[in-house]
Structure 1
Amino acid sequence: MARSLTLAGPAARRRLRTLGFLSPWLVGFSVFFAYPLIATVYFSFMHYNQIKEPTFVGLRNWEYVFDQMPLFGPALGNTLWLVVIMVALRVVFGLSLGLLITKIKTGAGFFRTAFYIPYLAPPVAATVAFVFLLNPGTGPVNELLGTLGISGPNWFNDPDTAKPSLVLLSLWGIGDLMVIFMAALLDVPREQYEAAELDGAGAWAKFRYVTWPSITPIVMFAVVTGVVQTMQYYTQALVAGKVASGVNIGPGSVIQPGYPEHSTLTVPQLVYSMGFQNFNTGAACVLSLVLFAIAMAVTSLLMRKRSGLLSAED
């Protein structure tokens, strides 16, 4: 073995060394991505209730999901709505906060901490607290609106305002994007701003021609990661709907997602419901593959150079 390695050329030894450095990633990729993806494709063509052996049923699971599952359309529509609205508003709000705090001369540390703390709260605890704040009957937000003569909405108890309430919840925990954008904004060379001021550029011109070209890679990162995370949106919508419905969450309780009137039902919730509550593994795998395909398509579209978000040299 040693003689064969000695006789091997430098290129072969370099490949073996590279493969050795890549082996942890290759193992992780194979175990946590490639195998689950292949298994998901396999079970999408099987009837499997997690008790008996799987049996091949062809395209029957796919036909059931697309033709006979009544909640697939609402769940997919809610998920895509959240992807478009929530991701866009989070990016805009996070960038706006980052710009604001970088311009503040006094108390920047206080405001930075105040906006970041909600992000540190566990998702379930933060969602329960937010639903309490927006409770239509006893919540302090509607009580404050009532003192101003404004009739507050039903928030999570109304199908028309349930998804916007989830967006408000996501904006409440905007601290992660705020910090990322602050780091990008502080990294913009000051000399470029000074040169723009010498040319007579105003605030908008400096943002458009100096700030924006410098932070577009970070904006791309925020958008792509936001799309991927929102396509997996599960915990906040499930907990918010359950708390708003007044049903206690405890050991052994079966949670039917989507309250009110399936307005907060997302595809990941439907995957869990089909796979672990109804034991329809085949349909759950089909839903997972549809979600994966949409996420890959949207991400690929965003990453294309001619999408306009990134310039050719980035």
Structure 2
Amino acid sequence: MTSTTVAPSGDGTRDSSRKRPGRGRKYNRREALAGYLFISPWIIGFLVFTAGSMIYSLVISFSKYNLATNVIRPTGTSNYEALLENPKVAKALANTLFYAVLAVPLEICFALLLAVLLNRVGRGAGFFRTVYYLPKMTPAVATASIFFLLLNGNTGAINQGLRFIGVEGPQWLVDPTWVKPSIVLMALWTVSGTMVIFLAALKNVPRDLYEVAALDGAGPVRQFFSITLPMISGALFFNVIILTIAAFQVFDQAYLLFWRDQNNPAPEASLFYAVYLFQEAFRQFNFGFAAAMAWLLFVILMILTFIQVKVGNRFVYYEGERS
């Protein structure tokens, strides 16, 4: 029989499975290289189509850009000065801010309500989740066409339903007071993406907490505010940030309902920031001014997100934190 000599380890014990120096380090490098190769298409796409486009737009925001001749003539900060002097920019920002303040809380509440209802469904939960998510898959043009018929002040189904109960509905698409609420209604139609995030968060709330609360005499309302909301505060915080960013970039709903027909004048209340940016860039071909508008919006969203993060971190519960 042959014997195997085992070298003693540093603590006095013998270890026959000791690895050669540098082997683990080499393996880690190979693993990292493989990871980078897998995500390289995204990295290339980001550098070319996102980072590159942002840098280029920043350059032309300080210039006058002629698309026909592809000539860029530097103009300094004149485009940004024009932003402060243009009344349409202020109006578009005001409309967008009003829409965001109205839409974001309603979308959060509506999505959370749907998620809570779906979380309580036992049999057929998959069917209802699919049905509620289908509006998210509907093309924006089709959704706008449906709501154009529903919101018609004279023959629309919504006003006809209101007349049935003795209420005279407003002119949704004409009255400036109801233009932005009509766009909010259209936005609520596609709230299922937010609902899915809330539903996933609700599934992760431990059932034990509800059982203990019920034993202590807490009712459903108290359980919701004392257990459910704190436990899903991370998802709530995430959705508020994402929906705020989306609200300041609202374009599809307003453009398809009011601005796609250039022969009919659209109400000024429907002039959102992204719509006006689109008009300046692709109708007036004022790309320098449009780029300056885009960077102004970027700065506004960065400031709002920073404020939301600073404020939200005080109220968000993370499972790994200790009290």
TM-score range, shorter chain: 0.7 to 0.9
Distance across 1 between alignment mates of 2:205 and 2:184: 30
The Cα shift of 1:240 comes to 0.9
Contact kept? 1:61, 1:283, Cα under 8 Å: yes
- State how 1:1-314 maps to structure 2 within 5 Å: 18=32, 21-22=35-36, 24=40, 25-52=42-69, 53-67=71-85, 69-104=86-121, 108=125, 111-242=128-259, 247=261, 254=262, 259-260=266-267, 262-304=268-310, 307-311=313-317
The Cα shift of 1:137 comes to 1.3
The Cα shift of 1:91 comes to 0.7
User: Relative to structure 1, is the Cα distance of residues 128 and 309 closer, same or farther in structure 2, using a 3 angstrom cutoff?
Assistant: farther
Residue 3 of structure 2 is matched in structure 1 by: none
Residue 250 of structure 1 is matched in structure 2 by: none
The Cα shift of 1:12 comes to 9.5
Distance across 2 between alignment mates of 1:220 and 1:255: 42
Determine helix, strand or coil for the equivalent of 2:269.
coil
Determine helix, strand or coil for the equivalent of 1:155.
coil
User: Relative to structure 1, is the Cα distance of residues 285 and 20 closer, same or farther in structure 2, using a 3 angstrom cutoff?
Assistant: farther
Distance across 2 between alignment mates of 1:210 and 1:30: 43
Distance across 2 between alignment mates of 1:102 and 1:311: 21
Please list the CA deviations of residues 102-154 of structure 1 after superposition, one character each: whole Å capped at 9, or x if unmatched.
Answer: 23456655654443332221111101101201101111221222232211100
User: Relative to structure 1, is the Cα distance of residues 174 and 144 closer, same or farther in structure 2, using a 3 angstrom cutoff?
Assistant: same
The residue identity in structure 2 corresponding to 1:64 is A
Determine helix, strand or coil for the equivalent of 2:177.
coil
The residue identity in structure 2 corresponding to 1:36 is S
Contact kept? 1:242, 1:255, Cα under 8 Å: no
The Cα shift of 1:20 comes to 6.4
Q: Root-mean-square deviation (CA), in Å?
A: 2.7
The Cα shift of 1:58 comes to 0.9
Distance across 1 between alignment mates of 2:61 and 2:30: 37
Residue 15 of structure 2 is matched in structure 1 by: none
The Cα shift of 1:255 comes to 7.4
The residue identity in structure 2 corresponding to 1:139 is G
The Cα shift of 1:167 comes to 0.7
The Cα shift of 1:176 comes to 1.8
Identical-pair percentage: 34
Please list the CA deviations of residues 163-215 of structure 1 after superposition, one character each: whole Å capped at 9, or x if unmatched.
Answer: 01111111122222222212221221111111111222222221222212221
User: Relative to structure 1, is the Cα distance of residues 116 and 26 closer, same or farther in structure 2, using a 3 angstrom cutoff?
Assistant: closer
The Cα shift of 1:76 comes to 0.6
The residue identity in structure 1 corresponding to 2:83 is V
Contact kept? 2:187, 2:253, Cα under 8 Å: no
The residue identity in structure 2 corresponding to 1:227 is T
Determine helix, strand or coil for the equivalent of 1:54.
strand
Distance across 2 between alignment mates of 1:285 and 1:19: 37
Contact kept? 1:46, 1:55, Cα under 8 Å: yes
Q: TM-score, normalised by structure 2?
A: 0.82
Please list the CA deviations of residues 10-52 of structure 1 after superposition, one character each: whole Å capped at 9, or x if unmatched.
Answer: 8799678646634625433322322112111110110112123
Please tell me whether Structure 1 or Structure 2 has the larger radius of gyration of its CA atoms: 2
Aligned residues: 295
Give ranges in structure 1 of 5+ residues lacking alignment: 1-7, 248-253
Distance across 2 between alignment mates of 1:218 and 1:264: 31
Q: TM-score, normalised by structure 1?
A: 0.84
Contact kept? 2:144, 2:256, Cα under 8 Å: yes
Give ranges in structure 2 of 5+ residues lacking alignment: 1-21
The residue identity in structure 2 corresponding to 1:21 is G
User: Relative to structure 1, is the Cα distance of residues 12 and 98 closer, same or farther in structure 2, using a 3 angstrom cutoff?
Assistant: same
